[in-house]
């Protein structure tokens, strides 16, 4: 019997997204928080468009996910993307914020956590982003741990990223991911990357040698009914890498400023990214853009290999 594609009544699909799902073509999900809170205009808009282009070039369909006036969008038009790129008052939406955003008919940019929750409703299993959230360095004082971690543990999906953001405590984050039962590996490296830098100095739990291997591990994880997600860490291209000892003083200065200004909660990650962009005279933003594009391409290759059943 043919598997009927189910369209969740709360989801609004882009035309190419709906067609791809109907025809069982491979898709890659993209998030909107990186557009609304992660990068400044106009770089965010240009990046959003070029991520989609990268994915299409591989014969895969991109669907950027976000909530627009109370509707969950699975795929956005360029005009809709522009709203996320230019409106400065857009809420940052984690999974638990989705119901209220729908109920109040708000617009919300979905984080990795929020996007995975929506992608699950659409049966999309691959997401590309820049760097996921994790355990903040002052966790002992603030208990700030990104809800990305819990949501990745709750979702059977591949998250292609360049590791966790270097503003975080990477060793603690890796420990928690292990506790949560999330599969974690690095593409073609023995080290776990640090977002703007190719290595954090930490060994990666798993070296991933090829796209075939990633697809095979993911398929087998489903066969054995492993229910958690799979983080595929893809180091920033060498051409755009910022060495750890160059960026670390900027991270420390930004953390000190955040503490002084009492920035916390959802505002903390965007504050730190913005501060480091300024301290690095834009270099960290160029690295961020290069790595997320690279991740979109790898995600498309994985999607092609997995196909759709």
- d(CA 201, CA 193) in angstroms, rounded, equals 8
Q: Choose from ligand PSU, Mn ion, none: what does 197 bind? Cβ within 5-8 Å by kind.
A: none
- d(CA 166, CA 267) in angstroms, rounded, equals 17
Q: If binding is defined by CB under 6 A, does position 97 make contact with ligand PSU? A: no
Nearer to ligand PSU, 129 or 155 (CB): 129
Q: Which of 14, 47, 107, 129 binds ligand PSU (CB under 6 A)?
A: 129
Least gap, CB of 132 to ligand PSU (angstroms): 6
What phi and psi, each to the nearest 5 degrees, are found at residue 15? -60, -45
CB 161 within 8 A of CB 168: no
Q: Which helix (H) or strand (E) holds 233?
A: strand 230-233
Residue bearing tokens 């005009």? 79
Least gap, CB of 225 to ligand PSU (angstroms): 27
Hey, what are 267's tokens?
A: 């505002």
Hey, what are 159's tokens?
A: 């998250």
Residue bearing tokens 């208990």? 143
DSSP 6-49: P--TTEEE-HHHHHHHHTT--EEEE-SHIIIIIS-TTHHHHHHH
Longest pairwise C-alpha distance within the chain: 62
Q: If binding is defined by CB under 6 A, does position 173 make contact with ligand PSU? A: no
The single residue of 82, 92, 120, 165 carrying the catalytic annotation is: 165
Q: Choose from ligand PSU, Mn ion, none: what does 111 bind? Cβ within 5-8 Å by kind.
A: ligand PSU
Residue 90, helix vs strand vs coil? coil
Hey, what are 253's tokens?
A: 């200065």
- Show the binding pattern over residues 141-160: x = contacts ligand PSU (CB under 6 A), - = does not: -----xxx------------
Least gap, CB of 155 to Mn ion (angstroms): 18
Restricting to residues 244-303, name those near ligand PSU by CB under 6 A: 266, 269, 273, 288, 292
Restricting to residues 125-164, name those near Mn ion by CB under 5 A: 144, 146
- Show the binding pattern over residues 98-127: x = contacts ligand PSU (CB under 6 A), - = does not: -------------xxx--------------
Nearer to ligand PSU, 160 or 215 (CB): 160
Q: Which residues are catalytic?
A: 31, 165
The binding site for ligand PSU (CB under 6 A) comprises: 31, 33-34, 37-38, 111-113, 129-133, 146-148, 266, 269, 273, 288, 292
């Amino acid at each position: 019997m043919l598997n009927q594609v189910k369209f969740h009544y709360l989801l609004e699909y882009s035309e190419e997204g709906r067609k791809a799902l109907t025809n069982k073509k491979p898709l890659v999900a993209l998030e909107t928080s990186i557009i609304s809170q992660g990068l400044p205009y106009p770089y965010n808009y240009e990046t959003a468009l070029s991520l989609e282009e990268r994915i299409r070039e591989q014969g895969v369909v991109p669907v950027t996910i976000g909530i627009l006036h109370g509707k969950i969008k699975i795929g956005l038009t360029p005009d809709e993307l522009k709203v996320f790129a230019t409106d400065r008052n857009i809420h940052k939406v984690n999974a638990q914020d989705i119901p209220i955003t729908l109920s109040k008919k708000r617009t919300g940019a979905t984080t990795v956590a929020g996007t995975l929750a929506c992608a699950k409703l659409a049966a999309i299993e691959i997401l590309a982003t820049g760097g996921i959230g994790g355990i903040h360095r002052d966790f002992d004082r603030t208990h700030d741990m990104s809800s990305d971690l819990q949501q990745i543990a709750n979702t059977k999906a591949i998250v292609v990223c360049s590791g966790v953001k270097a503003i975080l405590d990477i060793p603690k984050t890796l420990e928690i991911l292990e506790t949560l039962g999330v599969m974690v590996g690095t593409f073609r490296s023995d080290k776990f990357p640090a977002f703007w830098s190719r290595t954090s100095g930490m060994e990666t739990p798993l070296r991933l040698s090829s796209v075939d291997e990633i697809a095979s591990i993911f398929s087998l994880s489903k066969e054995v009914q492993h229910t958690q997600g799979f983080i595929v860490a893809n180091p920033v291209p060498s051409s755009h890498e910022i060495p750890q000892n160059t960026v670390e003083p900027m991270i420390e200065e930004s953390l000190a400023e955040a503490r002084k200004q009492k920035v916390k909660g959802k505002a903390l990650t965007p504050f730190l990214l913005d501060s480091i962009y300024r301290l690095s005279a834009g270099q960290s933003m160029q690295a961020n853009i290069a790595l997320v594009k690279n991740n979109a391409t790898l995600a498309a290759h994985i999607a092609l290999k997995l196909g759709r059943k």
